[in-house]
Amino acid sequence: MLEPLPSAEPELIRHVTVSTGLPNATAARVIADVLAYFDETVEDFIRRRHHELRLRQLKNDEIWSAISAEMSARRFGARALSQRQLRRIVYG
């Protein structure tokens, strides 16, 4: 089930509308998409990326390395996790 997108403050929608020329509804949707992207938890990110990389036929050793590298660049600034910790998040 999809979670509802977070709503943006009217002042932020006005700012984006004025600065980009986007219609209010489009600006609100873009802001909601960005907020949802940055609202992803470490665990959700790991599960999502593992699934995406498995679909690309990568092996787990390659996946864990890729996820570890990507996590250091993410906004949530996750602590370094071992391959064992990554596996436990994905598989339980």
Say how far apart CA 46 and CA 92 lie, in whole Å.
12
Residue 72's pLDDT is: 81
Distance CA(41)–CA(22), nearest Å, equals 29
Torsion angle of the four alpha carbons 90, 55, 1, 71, in this order, in degrees rounded to the nearest 10: 50
pLDDT at residue 14 above 90?
yes
Q: Domain segments of the chain: what residues?
A: 1-39, 42-91
Amino acid present at 18: V
Show the CA angle centred on residue 37, arms to residues 34 and 43, nearest 5°. Answer: 165
Residue 41's Cβ-side half-sphere holds a number of Cα atoms within 13 Å equal to 4
Given a cut of 60, is residue 3 above it in pLDDT? Answer: no
Residues 11-24: what's their mean pLDDT? 95
